[in-house]
Amino acid sequence: MRLSERKISSIMKQRGYKLTPQRRAVLKIIMGSDNHLTPEAIYQSVREEHQNIGLTTIYRTINILSELGLICEVHTAGSGRSYLVRRPLEHHHHLVCSGCNRVVDFSNCDLADIERKLSEGTGFKIEEHLLEFVGICPDCQQTAES
């Protein structure tokens, strides 16, 4: 299942958050991009159409979306945070282009075996895992060659 603006709107309202024009503008930018975006980048993009919005509102909106599980954070993006809209709702991971920040989602993470062995070997009760791949996308490979 993928997230539509309608669905996001309904989730937010259900949890007591209003879908204001500012939040709609932030959502539009995040949903319209294939790349992961920093708060500053979102700010700059939103500002092109909505020049009065404050950076504070960007952060507030990001934090809400994150709390509701509607956006994904990328961890291999250097210092600082970077987000993109949650495209598959189910458990998944990211393949990130180090050239243009494009993100491809994938769901076939088969870590159950490793997880079980690790758990048996260490006695840890494993709660979550973080898996991300970094590479160069076809477009950026071409750009690099030419």
Partner DNA sequence: ACTATAGATGAAAACCTTTATCGTTTGTAC
Partner DNA sequence: GTACAAACGATAAAGGTTTTCATCTATAGT
Nearer to DNA, 33 or 137 (CB): 33
How near is the Cβ of 52 to a copy of itself at its closest, in Å? 29
How near is the Cβ of 65 to a copy of itself at its closest, in Å? 17
Which residues in the 111-140 window bind Zn ion by CB under 5 A? 137, 140
Q: Is 22 exposed, middle or buried (0-12, 13-18, 19+ CB in 10 A)?
A: middle
- Other C-beta atoms lying within 10 Å of the C-beta of residue 125: 6
How near is the Cβ of 34 to DNA at its closest, in Å? 21
Q: Which of 38, 84, 103, 137 binds DNA (CB under 7 A)?
A: 38
Report strand pairing: 83-85 vs 103-106: unpaired
Distance CA 122, CA 118 (A): 6
